[in-house]
Structure 1
Amino acid sequence: MTEHVWSYKPTAGHLAGADLTGYEVEAVDGRIGKVDKHSDEVGDAYLVVDTGVWIFGKEVLLPAATVVRIDPEERKVFVDRTKEQIKDAPEFHREKHLGDPDYRHQLGTYYGPGGPFSGPMV
């Protein structure tokens, strides 16, 4: 089931309604960008991360379950995937994918149980 990837882990420290826009995003092996948009909707929580020059200014969509910790003092979000795993995720185009259930399923399968990188990476 992929629906669990769209919810924050209880241990992530996420507070509903908190504005994460502008927070730095750290993969297990370094910075990947900044939060450009996020959703707190129950069962549909995610981060849209602007990667800047890291992968040529592309955006990536990360399901909330990839978040392991949020540090409001440092304004950082830590995720449990490597840069390479995030770079290899299904390609994201904001105008096409934010409301697309097929893309959501594809991404949920990639990051979720049974996907190529399932389970904690840290």
Structure 2
Amino acid sequence: MKRTVNKISDELALQIVKEYLSTDISQSELKKKYNFGGNNNISRWMRKFGVSKPSSEQQVITGAMSKEQTASPRERDLERKIRKLEDELKEERLKSLALNTLIDVAERDLQVDIRKKSGAKR
């Protein structure tokens, strides 16, 4: 019997990881909800995206802090925007690193100056 492989996009995988980290839903419940198999998919995706589940100590600290002060809707909105901007910054840094590496390889292999020299000629 031939097995079918459901290829899950990185966007969906990241969404599943975020849902796993932000809620109390177990990995097996998420497998059923999104209809995918595999024993370590979510853990593998977490390593791929560089995120980890907070330790129990971190959860206790976070819980205590959230009880001390409840954030207003405006604060929660601003925090959400900050997280989004931090994610975008991380992606842009990776993109910049990739482009710089591409330029370095092209300059080395093709022996062509691609980057502009500093200072203006007069």
Q: Same fold (TM over 0.5)?
A: no
Larger radius of gyration: 2
Whose RCO is larger (CA < 8 A, sep 6+)?
1
Higher helix proportion: 2
Query: Normalised by the shorter chain, which TM-score bucket?
Result: under 0.3
Higher strand proportion: 1
TM superposition score normalised by structure 2: 0.28
TM superposition score normalised by structure 1: 0.28
